[in-house]
Structure 1
């Protein structure tokens, strides 16, 4: 039986220090990392807008006679349109970023989703243009999703390529931890607006204009990051030597890197299953199965998001000590045992025991999505420089597809077991895929990410 070995190759050349980057000019590596953090935060802020901010105002885009089933379908479509577009954006932007540069394509992506977000803030409602209001909303979310898929496919590899290998774990955690931070920010912002601006009727201030404020903020965030990249962030070191000579997308799906993509696809599919349980299923379970009131569910999920920021950073740092492969195998096994047990315990805890319910919800959140902490480092380390942006973006986004249909899987499982317990099966499946996906791949922690680095091809068939 073959074994995996860590690929040890020479460290990349030292990054330039303050003495050769110009008086008063920030270190290019730090600037790229800050850009990656700010950009990912703006990206995640935009993603959560329709889930949290638009939910109380969806009647603005709907006919008064619309039934609840149709309204729920439209709300789901608004969110799903972004998810569908992200893999497309990652393929397009990753391809061109590998050929023409991460920096240029990051600027295009930031400008694109910033403008789309601002355009949504200016949309008229059903009372003004009828069903065209929701059509335009879905269309703009789709267009924004294409650019969002492009942003993390370009900015994250750029940040990682500037980061010394011994700091890539922490750098990855700092970038990806903006996911729960953005979730918490929007939750607080929306809660504050709803406290000041009543909602509930079509004429209410929040429904008419209050929901627009977070979208304007999202557009401003994208603009701020755009100008930061324009002024402070440089192209990846050695990009000219590593620019793709063939189609990166073809190399990933049909060329010699297809096994690497398959291995990443397995790992990330597992991670997205775990993410859906934490982000979508857990809040619904707290409300419907446990019986926690709506506002209390929001507070619990806010607490879970804040605690999970530490989970992201801790996971990223742990992966730097253990290695990415060992970390993901261990996290998968731990998630299978702890997250599934916590979910079962949650279902058997009365809503009145609010402290226990909150602790269990936090445990589920931490032991599922915290595995995203090292993702920025792992996916960029996994692919050579010539196809890195494509490999990162496609590996990250295309794995969304199978887990995206989780509601159908839950309905199918409900034939064999109580529906409240069906998410436990998804936790088990996601945890196993995460561990198996990591087992199939090589260790990446010590790889050289320079333009002439050796490639990692280990894959256990």
Structure 2
């Protein structure tokens, strides 16, 4: 029998330990994405039927719409700030520390939202407390990207980084489906008939409490199970001479950031058309689907996306992320635009056909995001990776957020109902150009 040396045993133990840390980091990132997106959709879905609970009953319809939208917008505005603050923490102190701090922060903020009294109790302060807490929530949510995701990518083997990116992003559609199912249960259990109904008084608080509990469990998971990134520990002292954001805006890093921002501006624009405008502007208004039909259609599309993201991540690993992103941008401007054009012009179409077209449109336009997570992390060196990823991912959402204004402007040159098709084409072209301006990254060493 061949003798086994002590060195062989030690090497096997070391590899086993590394594999355990790798799996823990990846599981943490997937769960982090799920909890993050669950929290993002809470006000959009759970609070939508009872926004008047926080507002005076005499508020006008138009003014009410503006105030309701501000609750969601402030969350988005907080994300770039969170990416900058926690990106610096992740690059200087560690990815694990940034993850724990950010997750703990939005666990507390979400819990406090569940405790807010209504307008009848504290007046308009109820609404402004909600807006403030959602902004704080957005800051911590933006910080979540800068720790958990780079940590998981840095722990991944080079030949599996594409798959890992796809698995992480699958948490996004999974969260959308989960919160819609939860909302249906809440709506069925608690009657909704005005600001004095059981749902308005306390039923809506349960999903927020659940979101806080999940975030708390995630923070505990990182404390107990996830180790700091060995890539970060090995290539930076944690105390660089310049701050990460200083080095991000100089030299090659600045060019990398500008390329990522250009590409992401295009992808955010296309995603806003499909994710925000399509449900209300096409499915509800033009195709006259009922809210229940629209929800069922979108849940089917997001369920398909769970698998689509994993597949797109694998394809990006095999054929190249730059190639994959540029092809998706081009397909969005052609096939995606054609599918949206069909939906806008459709009349008396069976809902089954609408579901198939919406699923196809979601796959064409949204599959890029499974590749984006890995790609952006590969575009920046270790000392600025978290900040570069956070800013490149979150700051680029600002310009595309005004898509409604762009459609209004385009309406002076073309039929207004087809302006979202034009924007989808423009966004796809911008994304394609942005991807082509960058290098291939699938074989880079982190």
The match for 2:131 among 128, 138, 146 is 138
Q: Which residue does the alignment assign to 2:365?
A: 368
Alpha-carbon distance in structure 2 between the residues aligned to 1:313 and 1:258: 30
Shift of 1:351: 4.7
Alpha-carbon distance in structure 2 between the residues aligned to 1:18 and 1:416: 67
Q: For the structure 1 residues 220 and 21, does the alpha-carbon distance in structure 2 shift closer, same or farther, using more than 3 Å as the test?
A: farther
TM-score computed with the length of structure 1 as normaliser:
0.91
The match for 1:343 among 329, 336, 340 is 340
TM-score computed with the length of structure 2 as normaliser:
0.94
Q: How does 1:375-390 map to 2 (within 5 A)?
A: 375-390=372-387
The match for 1:173 among 157, 166, 179 is 166
Shift of 1:277: 1.1
Q: Which residue does the alignment assign to 1:114?
A: 107
Determine if the alignment matches structure 1 residue 395 to structure 2 residue 388.
no
Alpha-carbon distance in structure 1 between the residues aligned to 2:361 and 2:11: 43
Matched-pair contact (CA < 8 Å) for 1:351–1:357: no
- 3-state SS, counterpart of residue 157 of structure 1: helix
Determine if the alignment matches structure 1 residue 261 to structure 2 residue 257.
yes
Q: Which residue does the alignment assign to 1:127?
A: 120
Q: Which string of whole-angstrom CA distances, capped at 9 and with x for unpartnered residues, describes residues 39-58 of structure 1?
A: 11111110111111110121
Alpha-carbon distance in structure 2 between the residues aligned to 1:308 and 1:417: 32
The match for 2:29 among 28, 36, 48 is 36
The match for 1:251 among 244, 247, 253 is 247
Matched-pair contact (CA < 8 Å) for 1:292–1:351: no
Determine if the alignment matches structure 1 residue 230 to structure 2 residue 223.
yes
Would you tell me which structure has more helix in proportion to its own residues? 2
**Aligned pairs, number:** 433
Q: Which residue does the alignment assign to 1:319?
A: 316
Alpha-carbon distance in structure 1 between the residues aligned to 2:173 and 2:193: 27
Alpha-carbon distance in structure 1 between the residues aligned to 2:80 and 2:283: 31
Matched-pair contact (CA < 8 Å) for 1:56–1:200: no
Alpha-carbon distance in structure 1 between the residues aligned to 2:416 and 2:51: 28
Q: For the structure 1 residues 98 and 136, does the alpha-carbon distance in structure 2 shift closer, same or farther, using more than 3 Å as the test?
A: same
Matched-pair contact (CA < 8 Å) for 1:42–1:218: yes
Q: Which residue does the alignment assign to 1:358?
A: 355
Alpha-carbon distance in structure 2 between the residues aligned to 1:214 and 1:366: 29
The match for 2:275 among 274, 279, 282 is 279
Alpha-carbon distance in structure 2 between the residues aligned to 1:444 and 1:161: 14
Q: Which residue does the alignment assign to 2:306?
A: 309
Q: Which string of whole-angstrom CA distances, capped at 9 and with x for unpartnered residues, describes residues 52-111 of structure 1?
A: 111012111111001111111111100000100100000111012111111111110010
Determine if the alignment matches structure 1 residue 205 to structure 2 residue 198.
yes
Alpha-carbon distance in structure 1 between the residues aligned to 2:214 and 2:118: 25
Alpha-carbon distance in structure 2 between the residues aligned to 1:353 and 1:39: 37
Matched-pair contact (CA < 8 Å) for 1:201–1:207: yes
Shift of 1:228: 0.5
The match for 2:442 among 441, 445, 449 is 445
Alpha-carbon distance in structure 2 between the residues aligned to 1:26 and 1:168: 14
- 3-state SS, counterpart of residue 445 of structure 2: coil
Alpha-carbon distance in structure 1 between the residues aligned to 2:74 and 2:126: 15
Alpha-carbon distance in structure 1 between the residues aligned to 2:11 and 2:189: 49
Shift of 1:255: 4.2
Matched-pair contact (CA < 8 Å) for 2:98–2:146: no
Q: For the structure 1 residues 35 and 201, does the alpha-carbon distance in structure 2 shift closer, same or farther, using more than 3 Å as the test?
A: same
Determine if the alignment matches structure 1 residue 20 to structure 2 residue 17.
no
Alpha-carbon distance in structure 2 between the residues aligned to 1:66 and 1:313: 45
Matched-pair contact (CA < 8 Å) for 1:318–1:327: yes
Q: For the structure 1 residues 351 and 122, does the alpha-carbon distance in structure 2 shift closer, same or farther, using more than 3 Å as the test?
A: farther
The match for 1:149 among 139, 142, 146 is 142
Shift of 1:352: 4.9
Matched-pair contact (CA < 8 Å) for 2:154–2:231: no
Q: For the structure 1 residues 123 and 18, does the alpha-carbon distance in structure 2 shift closer, same or farther, using more than 3 Å as the test?
A: farther
Alpha-carbon distance in structure 1 between the residues aligned to 2:64 and 2:305: 32
Matched-pair contact (CA < 8 Å) for 2:30–2:167: yes
Alpha-carbon distance in structure 2 between the residues aligned to 1:83 and 1:388: 22
Gaps of 5+ in 1: 1-15, 450-461
Q: Which residue does the alignment assign to 1:184?
A: 177
Q: For the structure 1 residues 414 and 48, does the alpha-carbon distance in structure 2 shift closer, same or farther, using more than 3 Å as the test?
A: same
Alpha-carbon distance in structure 2 between the residues aligned to 1:281 and 1:126: 30
Alpha-carbon distance in structure 1 between the residues aligned to 2:356 and 2:348: 12
Alpha-carbon distance in structure 2 between the residues aligned to 1:118 and 1:169: 35
Gaps of 5+ in 2: 1-9
Matched-pair contact (CA < 8 Å) for 1:289–1:420: no
- 3-state SS, counterpart of residue 272 of structure 1: helix
Q: Which residue does the alignment assign to 1:296?
A: 293
Question: How well do the aligned residues superpose, as a CA RMSD in angstroms?
Answer: 1.5
